[in-house]
Chains A and B, each alone.
Chain A
Amino acid sequence: MEWVNIIIQGVLIGGLYAMFAAGLALIFGVMRLVNIAHGDLIVLAAYIALMTTDTLGLNPLLAIVVVVPIMAAIGYGLQRGLLNRTLGDDVLPPLLVTFGLSVIIQNALLELFTADSRRLKAGAIEVASFQIGEGVWIGVLPLLQFVVAIAVIGGLQLLFYRTPLGRAFRATSDDQSVAQLMGLDNRHIFALAMALSLAVVAVAGVFLAVRTNFDPAIGPARLIFGFEAVIIGGLGSMWGTLAGGIILGVSQAIGAQINPGWQLLAGHLAFLLILAVRPEGLFPKVQG
């Protein structure tokens, strides 16, 4: 029964990793931009949630309603004002600029909030759980986080394949110059994609801040988890990202059970294994 609990926990945390990954996959898919600052933006979202709860006295989970539009606006402005200028035939400038952004965000947060680790307090829901079988318990918060992750990923999938905006994203991803001939302004489309990516980041950041302590330096590790989930899942479908997150979460949970020091190692090993045997990921993009 102990192992069942561990695997369930791994699956549920996988939802959080999938949310880290979904935003990365989305902007890579639309504009081939690898956002090195992605993890730090998750942490930024966590601090914005912290400020929101401190000043408005909101429950952190309700603070999502405030943090999502703020992060989306930051995303739109960031893309329009900075990142669009780095995009071109060369892949290096966006990498360097987002790397610089990562450093800037970390240091700005350090100046503003110090290196003390913080936590969002969500109240009784944090420890609530229910029994689903003999000795098998599920935490309410992890379950909520998982359900939200599925909703976010399902929502992105629908948006991509069933709406005019998703059609515009896919067309721009296929061929930027022809998309412009269709009247799509790619600077605006890219900015909308980044806004959407950071809206997902906002949700992920709030859940991260509720379940663990955070400080300004934890961003890069979240970026790695996101990358690993994207690569395990492949770029073919948003659901692949969820599968990638779950595999990463379960591997970490199993590793931690064997030896508490092996949690991260086990996740990285699972990632390397899949990279070695299936480099295109579990759900690769089908080339037409």
Chain B
Amino acid sequence: MPEPLLDVRALDAFYGDFQALFGVSLRVAPGEVVAVIGANGAGKSTLLNCIAGAIRSRRDAILFDGEPTGDQPAHAVVGRGIALVPEGRRLFASLSVEENLLIGGQVGRPGPWNLARIYDLFPMLAERRHVPSTSLSGGQQQMVAIGRALMSNPKLLLCDEISLGLAPIVVREVYGRLPSIVTEGSSLIIVEQDIVQALKAANHVYCLQEGRVALTGSAGTLTREAISAAYFGA
């Protein structure tokens, strides 16, 4: 196996006294798409928040590009090349579409993505660049959220439930753009409730159950029975 881009080693995460993750280990190779699936409350979003630095953890629990980042704050982690598309999109309501994208790019990391390239990826955003981000449809808002994260030219893009609340046709459209993001050199971790979608998009799958990795394997080899056992507990 090549040197992993991201190496999560025995990660524990806490909300106060409540422990949300127990010794989770996960690897992402350069150019790989990893799906993290699991039931509500399994710890999927917590895992992404730890990787992005929004939740601090043990220093050497997360290695990115060979460097420990577990104890780094979010604003430092994004500068190293990890960007998060947060659950529920969470666009900046008082900023226009274009301002949302620009703020994503303000860390100034060099790379393939800029405003023009984002508008190529999501052409419908170009026409609506000056409207308030809140006036967009859910699918368009999701595109802005992805574009905003891409503007920091991440080596690793974390997508938290990007299909949530969207119509199936919009979900297909959004997922249809992921391969071109990988082609530009980003690895992806996608957190999904929609297992079919996740298995289709990913090379490798991790299934979380109550804060632990219950199942892992390459997307093609996992059986439905194994996944449902890991999902709900045997």
Contacts and interface: CB of A to CB of B under 8 A. Distances in A.
B84 interface: yes
Interface stretch (B2-10, B34-42, B96-104, B177-185): B96-104
A180 B54 contact: yes
A181 B93 contact: no
B95 A182 contact: no
A168 B75 contact: no
B107 interface: yes
A174 interface: yes
A135 interface: no
Given A164-B102, A180-B74, A185-B73, A170 B92 contact: yes
Given A167-B99, A170-B92, A175-B90, A288 B54 contact: no
B95 A164 contact: no
A174 B103 CA distance: 13
A interface: dominant SS = helix
B48 to A, nearest CB: 11
A261 interface: no
A185 B75 contact: yes
A140 interface: no
Interface size class of B (residues with CB under 8 A): 20 to 34
A171 interface: yes
A-B complex: 10 closest residue pairs judged by Cβ atoms: A183-B107, A288-B134, A180-B74, A183-B78, A174-B92, A171-B92, A185-B75, A288-B93, A180-B75, A178-B90
Nearest to B108: A183
B221 interface: no
B86 interface: yes
A5 interface: no
B132 A178 contact: no
Contact of B94 (A170, A177, A180, A181): A170
B201 interface: no
Dominant SS at the B interface? Answer: mixed
Contacts of B83: 181
B138 interface: no
A180 B73 contact: yes
Interface of A: 164, 167-168, 170-171, 173-175, 177-186, 288
Given A167-B102, A179-B92, 4 more contacts: A171-B95, A175-B92, A181-B83, A186-B75
A178 B84 CA distance: 9
Contacts of B86: 178, 181
B73 A174 contact: no
Interface string B138-166: 00000000001000100000000000000
B202 to A, nearest CB: 23
A173 B94 contact: yes
A164 B92 contact: no
A177 to B, nearest CB: 6
A168 B99 CA distance: 10
Contacts of A179: 92, 103
B189 interface: no
Contacts of B68: none
21 contacts: A167-B102, A171-B95, A171-B103, A174-B92, A174-B93, A177-B54, A179-B92, A181-B52, A181-B74, A181-B75, A181-B83, A182-B75, A182-B103, A182-B104, A183-B78, A183-B79, A183-B152, A184-B106, A185-B73, A185-B75, A288-B93
A197 to B, nearest CB: 19
A183 B149 CA distance: 11
B94 A288 contact: yes
B106 A164 contact: yes
Contacts of B104: 182
Contacts of A171: 92, 95, 103
Contacts of B148: 182
B53 to A, nearest CB: 8
A168 B74 contact: no
Nearest to A183: B107
A161 to B, nearest CB: 9
Contacts of A175: 90, 92
Interface string B77-92: 0110001101000101
B92 A178 contact: yes
Interface string B96-125: 000100111011000000000000000000
Contacts of B99: 167, 170
A182 B53 CA distance: 11
A84 to B, nearest CB: 13
A228 to B, nearest CB: 25
